[in-house]
Amino acid sequence: MKVRRIKIGIKDWAENKRELREVFRRLGAGKKPPEDTLYFLDLATFRRCLTPKRLELLWLIGEKRPRSVRELAAIVKREPKNVNEDLRYLVSVGLVEFRRGGGRGNAKTPVVPYDRVDLSLELRGQAA
């Protein structure tokens, strides 16, 4: 079984644009992009978006495989509404997906579609 990975890091806009052009070039040539990626413009944005609570949710979804948002909320001892808000954000950036039918009453099951998350921080310029 192939391990599905996503690379998360920090890149300035110019570098991000160059990489995006390369992805479009590969897609136009009928090739698959080299890897799934999620980049933030700076460390402050990264920290605002991937808070410790959201990172904990990612880890626990992969580890505990909760069948519903309520079950996940019970594991982290948080209100389901707040957990659901964090999950909606994680869905919007592609780190979580919802699938139907895992919990009671056809509840939405949160799933992390990756087996591994690689964090990449360059120690130069703004990224440091």
Residue pLDDT tens, the chain, 128 long: 566 878 877 877 777 677 777 767 777 788 776 677 778 878 888 888 889 999 999 999 999 999 999 999 999 999 999 999 999 999 988 899 999 865 566 678 999 988 887 877 666 654 44
Beta bridge partners of 9: 39, 120
Distance (Å, rounded) from C-alpha 74 to C-alpha 71? 5
Structure-token match 């090739």, residue found:
31
CA distance 12 to 42: 7
Which CATH number characterizes residue 44's domain?
1.10.10.10
Distance, in Å, from the CA atom of 3 to the CA atom of 61, rounded to the nearest integer, reads 17
**CA 18 from centroid of its chain's CA atoms:** 22
pTM tops 0.75, yes or no = no
Domain containing 33: what range? 5-127
SS3 content of the chain, % helix, strand, coil (to 5): 50, 20, 30
User: How many domains does the chain contain in total?
Assistant: 1
